[in-house]
Structure 1
Amino acid sequence: MRAIPAVLDPDVVTEIDRRLAGVAREHDVEIPWAIESGSRAWGFPSPDSDYDCRFVFVRPRERYLSLWPERDVIETPLDAVFDVNGWDLAKSVRLIAKGNATAVEWLRSPIVYTGDPAFRDGLLDLADRIVERGSIGRHYLHVARQQRAGARSLKRFFYVLRPAAALRWLEVHPAQAVPPMDLPTLIDEGDVADHVRTAVHDLIALKAQTRELGSGTPPTILESFVTAQLERAEVYEHAAPERRADDVRAMADEYFLSLLR
């Protein structure tokens, strides 16, 4: 599986492919899932946005039986253009079991460098069965609060707006716990008012044309949308778990072992 938008720099994509192949060869791992994260996958890139490739890797089965586990992260050199690193399958499964929204988001990226759909669908199925809505909701609530507390700028506002849109998506999809990754889809599936949808898409278009948005003031319409969503999302702060921790760990173990077999 591969999903590369035409707007991505083909030379950069070629280098990412080269790095992924190098990781697989040098570390003797398989990479069943490699995607773009960051602003490009979130749906609001700037002309000078870097590339944030993230991947899940799987070692040969016998290396998971060692008394001295290997490091569960593989990184490649970081520079102004490339940020390419990945997590071991075991780390990814553990984080999903803990309700880590970042690990879940990787499975919903609209930009895929290389991927096995069956692998992705298996992890998504596991997430659907074990992820707590309360954990996901708290994650987005805390991210939005943290970003909102920093120096105000239109650029930073996107990092408030996306988690607020994710909280809206959770609100209107009460039976689901795995939101889409990108802001446009969150807005389109979030049943927001037309004036909010228009303001979001106008702001995205502005960011796509501007290298540095500066310290401008976010539209009042969107500030009000964010405030309302964060206020309603406070219910996640004390949301009780829906599943027993032992059951979650057992389902995560079952998935992990079945894949290694």
Structure 2
Amino acid sequence: MHADGAIDGFDPEAVREIRSRLTAVREQGIRIGFAIESGSRAWGFPSPDSDYDCRFVYIRPVEHHLALTAARDVIEFPIVGDIDTGGWDLRKALRLALKGNAVVVEWLKSPIAYEEEVGFRSRLGGLLDLIMVPEKVAAHYVGLLRQHFQSEGEGAIKLKKLLYAVRPAIALEWMRQRSFQALPPMNMLECLEAISIASDLRTAILDLVQVKKQTREMGEGLPPMLVQSFLSNAFQRYSEILREFSRDPDGDRRAQHLADKFYVQEVLYRSS
């Protein structure tokens, strides 16, 4: 991001509209920890007409917690044109992180930020390092792979759908090659560069990315057989690996305690 707030390759009008929406949130007395770009632009394979997917984590002030009616744990704006903006309450983000949902840690690692509160990302990142269990995150990515992988794969398919399956498969391979002891980068190309796979498969994936970058969001094409085989083998391999992971109830309780403490501290932050 430039000193004037511009973001390379982003429509200035879209960026201004997103920041206007974020301002409307803060005007309700709500803190925004960070607001980032998610989706294909941050994953490294945008199309010429990809949406702007702004996602943010927010913290409600103490008085919102004292009302009889609990506030929603999401803030959503209508999708207008190619601008999609929405946020999660920190409570929701932490609850999902404890279950292994990788979304909040991906947001935290996004290379594209619209705005952020000084120090919040590092504080949240320090907590996530303590409470996120890589094996649970692996289960999250297997779920994404199951959701997007089309086993039939005959004929032309949506390139978006295919790459949305490739991304979790690459993330899982990144984790496996590190014995499931760390969490992968958000950017798929960065993840791909850091794993050891067959050179022809790497080339096929990169070629697919290039096609998507030059094709409209719903463009279709024939899936390369190498990529189809990679997805099929990944789904089988990691579905089996998940059965080998052991549970740690004591670790879960410790993580819950740390998340509770962090949440209370953030709600009280600046309240005095």
- Residues matched between the structures, number: 260
Match of 1:102 in 2: 103
- Quote the offset at 1:176 in angstroms: 3.2
Q: Pick one of 241, 245, 259 that aligns with 1:239.
A: 245
Write the letter of the residue equivalent to 2:163.
F
RMSD: 2.2
State the distance in 2 between where 1:130 and 1:75 align: 27
Question: Is the counterpart of residue 255 in structure 1 residue 270 in structure 2?
Answer: no
Give me the whole-angstrom Cα distance separating, in 2, the residues matched to 1:160 and 1:134. 19
Tell me by how many angstroms 1:196 deviates.
Answer: 2.6
* More helix by percentage: 1
- Number of the residue aligned with 1:163: 168
Q: Shift of the alpha carbon at 1:114?
A: 0.8
Provide, for residues 9-61 of structure 1, a one-character-per-residue CA deviation record: whole Å limited to 9, x for no partner: 11111111111111211x22111200111111111111111111000111223
Kindly state the Cα deviation for residue 87 of structure 1 after the two structures are TM-superposed: 0.8
2:98·2:131 contact (CA, 8 Å) conserved in 1? yes
Q: Specify the alignment match of 2:222 in structure 1.
A: 217
Q: Which moved more, 1:76-85 or 1:61-70?
A: 61-70
3-state SS of paired residue (1:55): strand
Shift of 1:153: 2.8
Q: Structure 2: how far apart are the matches of 1:202 and 1:165?
A: 15
TM-score (normalizing by structure 1): 0.90
1:132/1:241 contact within 8 Å kept: no
The answer (yes or no) to whether the contact 1:136–1:177 under 8 Å persists in 2 is: no
Point out the more displaced range, 67-76 or 207-216: 207-216
For residues 95 and 180 of structure 1, the distance between their equivalents in structure 2, rounded to whole angstroms, comes to 19
CA deviations 1:54-100 (Å, max 9, x no partner) are: 00111223323444321111111212311101011111111111211
- TM-superposition CA deviations, 1:86-145 (whole Å, max 9, x none): 011111111111211112211111211112352112222222211122221111112112
Name the residue aligned to 1:41.
42
Counterpart contact for 1:130–1:243, Cα < 8 Å: no
Does structure 1 retain, via aligned residues, the 8 Å contact 2:48–2:217?
Answer: no
Residue from 15, 29, 53 that aligns with 1:13: 15
Kindly report which structure 2 residues correspond to 1:1-261, keeping only aligned pairs within 5 A, or say none: 5-25=7-27, 27-116=28-117, 118-149=119-150, 152-174=157-179, 176-212=181-217, 214-234=219-239, 235-237=241-243, 239-242=245-248, 244=250, 245-261=252-268
Q: What stretches of structure 1 of length at least 5 have no aligned partner?
A: none
